Structure 1
Amino acid sequence: MSDTVVRVLADFASGARFEDLPPEVVEETKRILLDSIGCALGGVSAPKGAIGGRLAHLMGEGGSATIIGRGRRASVFGAAFANGELINALDFDAILPPGHVAPYVIPGALAVAEEGHTAGRELITATAVAHEMSYRFGKSMDYHRDTSGEKADTPGVLGFASTVFGATAAVGSVRGLPGETVADALGIAGSISPVNSHRSWLMHAPTSTIKYTMAGPIVQAALTASFSAEYGHTGDQLILDDAEYGYRRFIGARRWAPENLVGELGSTWRFPAESTHKPYPHCRVMHAPFDALTEILESNDIRPGEIEGIRAWGEGWVQLPVWLNDRIEQIHDGQFSIDHGLAVAAQRIRPGPAWQSPEVVHSEQVLGLMEKVTFQGHPDAISALNRDPRSRPTRIEVDARGTTFAAERRYPKGTPSPEPETYMTTEELAEKFRVNAAEVLSPQQAEDAVDALLNLERLDDVGKLMGFVSVA
């Protein structure tokens, strides 16, 4: 079976070596780890993050792995579950096709690396492998929206469950498993993968608090698959070749392009060019509107109480219940509501955990301003997407002081785009880390963590890094 898709992926994962990684892959992988661990620190007090921590301790107290931002340790399975939930708690983590990747693929590798006193360069390699593999699955299956002509189509079944393969490969990479064992692990991962339930979640508002497909169960499925193969279970190594009865069929994908999975795999790394970072703790579709709104308010020093109305034009395909929701019952409801997001951005609060504090989410000032917000699809949105998938045409108009102020955007901040100013620099990511860590770590701890992450290839034991991001 040396030529099955599973075996090609397994050979890629087991054969990856740090010294063979291109510099841009190493750099972007460290940036993703910096950003993801920072997002986890920011999510410590969020309901999703707190629940994840409580569940982790049901899986074993006093283990060998750290829950980020906590003082107690847990089992590998428990810590990985909690850290997946923490990374995605604020919806502040990086974006990469098929959507969110980091919360699903980093925690298992991180916990196993800590337990095994693994060197930082091995964690970099595993994380890079996981992101490359997950990105390629994202380009092989249905995405959030497919454009055809002048329409955007949202598939009936979608989600991030395919990240279970990258997550499994990452665990196997850290543990140094041979290719045949990794192939079995990937076959097992496909067979126990959670379903793609994301579309149901999008269509029901207010939404359930689990959000998307929960990160924790996918992380645990990956750990289960990897350890099961290591201990002797065999996996279905034809699961990705069989379009009729295999993974593509039972995960519900209309589109299946396995050539995108294996083409130039190992020789061409594709994920760094589309890795997108978030400057705001809110669904990515609203970031260009936030950029334009912030420009208007700051350049004209407009205070929230002066705003008489906000009109926004953006991605029209998101006019589905989760984004149109105006019933803000749970903290996470504010992570997706278009009206609520613009009302929070108008408060001119520094983006970070404060955006999702109960005092802000449920404040009368924010809830009142929501009623003054309107949103429509931008007339150029689909044609722009067809020309460049990174493009997000946006216009914002603000009525204040008897005047209408306007601003437009083509690409949101955080996107590697033709506009250099939209790229989020490493120092900007480091500052985002400090903001997220401010209520959890001491300033010195935060600086030590940033330094360790940006120089991770020099670290001889990932456990030292985890010491910087835990509390006494």
Structure 2
Amino acid sequence: MDVTSTDLTGALARFVSTLDLADVPSDVKADARRLLLDSVGCILAAARTRMAPIVHGLAEFLGDGNAASIAGRKQRASLAGAVYANGRLANCMDLDETFPVGHHFGAGAVVAALALAELRKATGSRFLQALIAGYELGGRVASACGAHIFSKAGSVSHFSVSTVLAAAGVGIQLEAQDEVWARQTLGIAGSNTPLPSMWPGKSMDLPDSKYQDAGWAVLAGLFAARSATLGATGLSAIFDGERSLIKMCGTDCFDRDALVGDLGSRWMLPDITYKPWPTCRWMHQPLTALVAAASKAKIDPQQIESILIGTNVLVSGPRFCNPKPRTWVSRQYSFPHAVAMVLLGIPVGPAWLDDATDDLQYVKELREKVRVEPWDVANDYRSRIVRGQLRNMPARITILMRDGTRLATETDFALGDPWKSDTAYGDEHVIEKFRVVSGLSKARADQVIHAILNIEAQPDVEPIVSVLRDPGEVFGR
């Protein structure tokens, strides 16, 4: 693709509508399968949280139906209801993957593809093709928007646009649209993208809506695709001109190459980062250092004198230093809480964020021992950026015991980062995470894992979505 082209919208429409699974490298397919497994695990975990009854009620609000499955409900729901509910669940714990510009859209592509494939009775290979198309589109849009820290001064951050477009890309594929109608889908999706977020505000009691309502964003993307299929038209040059969608998102410097360069040869999926813990991804470098430091000795949390985290200014603000996070979303952004969960061995899942865990006295006491401070070395992350991606983000941690023992570790990368062999997640790592967070019995987990890792051989997605409709498994009954 000539990145000097003035028809960027057309280039994206052509790529997404014509993408063929046969042309996708095997390693990219493997990345997509791992994304699917990870996302289903996140959805199942969230079905055991306070958000589940909320999203089930909202699914009913969106209308009755028998089209697609929702996690934690025996009955299928309307397509809109299922897309909204599962999309919200997938992201609500901040346990889902992160593209390294700070955007979360992969689980949205998974949710859109599962719902439409279930409705259309699409084969596993068709599903996988759509999922890859959606993720690649979301990754291109996220890359072009860039990390929100690089937005123009005075602008607000925009997290939803990549999720909307990832879902739209899935819809283009599973609605079998050609380039002409794919262009219309992109135009409608872009114009229906939720407004930029005021998430970087100073609130300590963080709300359930977070930086985006992922369910609504996924629904907007599929709504756009269905609208175009029915003959509706949109802004057919949504990515072009001085008022293009990317520029309207407030990016400081629009790089055409990030949006359309090397389509079909430079893939987004290999840069996926996985989360071992339900926290902001930019907190994972210090937590990775924590695990390494704690492994140097057998630690009794009651014998800890203090814990000092050195990190960059992005995650040194009040919400990240908060030792008394009062909401379950605030706990996703609190270093003191995350450190306590790791050192106390709380299994990754709903218990990490639950009010009952927050009320434990020994949790409160350990959180008070954690301090966070900016570290000059960590603040040099801008010089280490690759294609706009925040990859190398140094962090350090020091655990001081009451007997004077000092356990210290520094790290540049986080567990789940794909760019180093000792942090990259392969099948075995994602499988291990799935077994822990899904809450499924070993036998049922084995079935789902086998179905997902062999998705191309499946006649449909029923072996995967059926587990969502099994409350006995989801809730451990």
TM-score, normalised by the number of residues in structure 2: 0.91
Question: Is residue 468 of structure 1 aligned with residue 467 of structure 2?
Answer: yes
Question: Is residue 395 of structure 1 aligned with residue 403 of structure 2?
Answer: no
Report the equivalent of 1:381.
378
Question: Is residue 347 of structure 1 aligned with residue 351 of structure 2?
Answer: no
Report the equivalent of 1:190.
190
One-letter amino acid of the counterpart of residue 20, structure 1: D
Q: Secondary structure at the match of 2:67?
A: strand
One-letter amino acid of the counterpart of residue 111, structure 2: P
1:241 and 1:448 map into 2 onto residues whose CA distance is 46
2:250 and 2:150 map into 1 onto residues whose CA distance is 15
One-letter amino acid of the counterpart of residue 316, structure 2: Q
- 1:35-74 map, 5 Å: 35-74=38-77
Alignment equivalent of 2:407, drawn from 386, 405, 408: 405
Query: Does the CA-based 8 Å contact 1:207-1:333 persist in structure 2?
Result: yes
1:395 and 1:122 map into 2 onto residues whose CA distance is 44
Report the equivalent of 1:150.
none
Distance 1:201 1:63, change over 3 A: farther
Q: Secondary structure at the match of 2:422?
A: helix
Q: Tell which deviates more after alignment, 37-46 or 397-406.
A: 397-406
Deviation at 1:401, TM superposition (A): 3.4
One-letter amino acid of the counterpart of residue 310, structure 1: I
2:91 and 2:238 map into 1 onto residues whose CA distance is 29
Report the equivalent of 1:27.
30
Report the equivalent of 2:241.
242
Deviation at 1:76, TM superposition (A): 0.7
Measured against aligned partners, the alpha-carbon deviations of 1:291-328 in whole angstroms (never above 9, x if no partner) come to 22223334311122111111010122223343234442
Report the equivalent of 1:17.
20
Report the equivalent of 1:166.
166
Distance 1:345 1:308, change over 3 A: same
Question: Is residue 100 of structure 1 aligned with residue 104 of structure 2?
Answer: yes
Alignment equivalent of 1:262, drawn from 255, 260, 263: 260
Alignment equivalent of 2:141, drawn from 137, 143, 163: 137
2:318 and 2:221 map into 1 onto residues whose CA distance is 31
Query: Does the CA-based 8 Å contact 1:201-1:207 persist in structure 2?
Result: no
Report the equivalent of 1:417.
419
Q: Tell which deviates more after alignment, 459-468 or 314-323.
A: 314-323
Measured against aligned partners, the alpha-carbon deviations of 1:235-274 in whole angstroms (never above 9, x if no partner) come to 111121122x3323543333322332111112x1331331
Report the equivalent of 2:82.
79
1:461 and 1:442 map into 2 onto residues whose CA distance is 23
Query: Identity of counterpart residues, as a percentage?
Result: 31
Deviation at 1:357, TM superposition (A): 2.8
Q: Secondary structure at the match of 1:311?
A: strand
Query: Does the CA-based 8 Å contact 2:158-2:249 persist in structure 1?
Result: no
Question: Is residue 89 of structure 1 aligned with residue 92 of structure 2?
Answer: yes
Distance 1:394 1:206, change over 3 A: same
Q: Tell which deviates more after alignment, 383-392 or 129-138.
A: 383-392
Deviation at 1:47, TM superposition (A): 2.3
TM-score, normalised by the number of residues in structure 1: 0.92
Alignment equivalent of 2:354, drawn from 353, 357, 369: 357
One-letter amino acid of the counterpart of residue 211, structure 1: K
Q: Tell which deviates more after alignment, 289-298 or 29-38.
A: 289-298
Distance 1:15 1:155, change over 3 A: farther
1:449 and 1:66 map into 2 onto residues whose CA distance is 15
Measured against aligned partners, the alpha-carbon deviations of 1:60-116 in whole angstroms (never above 9, x if no partner) come to 334210012432211111001011111112111111135111233222222111011
Report the equivalent of 1:6.
9
Query: Does the CA-based 8 Å contact 1:66-1:111 persist in structure 2?
Result: yes
1:154 and 1:110 map into 2 onto residues whose CA distance is 39
1:385 and 1:117 map into 2 onto residues whose CA distance is 46
2:368 and 2:441 map into 1 onto residues whose CA distance is 39
Q: Secondary structure at the match of 2:270?
A: helix
Report the equivalent of 1:367.
364
Report the equivalent of 1:232.
231
* Root mean square deviation of aligned Cα: 2.1
One-letter amino acid of the counterpart of residue 402, structure 1: D
1:112 and 1:121 map into 2 onto residues whose CA distance is 14
Alignment equivalent of 2:276, drawn from 276, 279, 286: 279
Measured against aligned partners, the alpha-carbon deviations of 1:343-377 in whole angstroms (never above 9, x if no partner) come to 22221223333322322233222222222111112
1:36 and 1:209 map into 2 onto residues whose CA distance is 19
Deviation at 1:379, TM superposition (A): 1.8
Deviation at 1:4, TM superposition (A): 2.1
